[in-house]
Amino acid sequence: MASIPQRAKQGFPQDDARWKGVTDQILDRLGSEDVSDVLIGSAYLARRRAQLLHRPVQLEDLEFTLSVFCFWPLKPDPPAQVRADLTEVRRPAFEGASRAPEEKLRQTFDELVPDSTLVLDPAGLHEKQRDSVEAFLSRKPHSQPHASQSSGA
């Protein structure tokens, strides 16, 4: 099993055993994504979600943000086409997250995941995920810049 990056655990009250449980749950859901990249990106979003909800970050925030990208197995999956589109969006978003500076995480994930998604409850997220990726993320499939491309702006 991969080690859990300390950077991901920043601000969370959970111990290593709880983090190992989360990591074990998502391993089968990873495609080409690296577990450290997924944990770093999802933990960033979890801290942002807790901030929007005006409370300390909780493990449930991490589970929610993992659910946004269908990494968390303990919730219903969206339809196959939405899941396929989501996979195309998530790969470049999470690629290299564990090595990215905080500013790059902020730029990537704040642009991709709107506040309106992060403040949903799990049922609200599931409802939006039944429609399309555009119903809960800010970018359409295939429009996420790849790590090797520059924005040019």
Mean pLDDT of the chain: 85
Sorting pLDDT into bands at 50, 70 and 90, what band is 141? very low
- pLDDT value at residue 3: 65
DSSP string covering 67-116: HHTT--SSS----HHHHHHHHHHHHHHHTTGGGS-HHHHHHHHHHHS-HH
Yes or no: say if 45 and 11 are a contact pair by the CB < 8 Å rule: no
Q: Of 5, 71, 85, nearest to 33 (Cα)?
A: 71
SS3 percent helix, strand, coil of the chain, rounded to 5, is: 60, 0, 40
The tens digit of pLDDT for each residue in 39-84 reads 999 999 999 999 999 999 998 999 999 999 999 998 888 999 999 9
Kindly state the percentage of the chain with pLDDT values over 90.
Answer: 65
Q: What is the pTM assigned to this prediction?
A: 0.84
Confidence at 8, pLDDT banded by 50, 70, 90: confident
- Looking at per-residue pLDDT, the higher value among 115 and 12 belongs to 115
What's the pLDDT at 115?
A: 96
Given a cut of 60, whether residue 144 has pLDDT beyond it is no
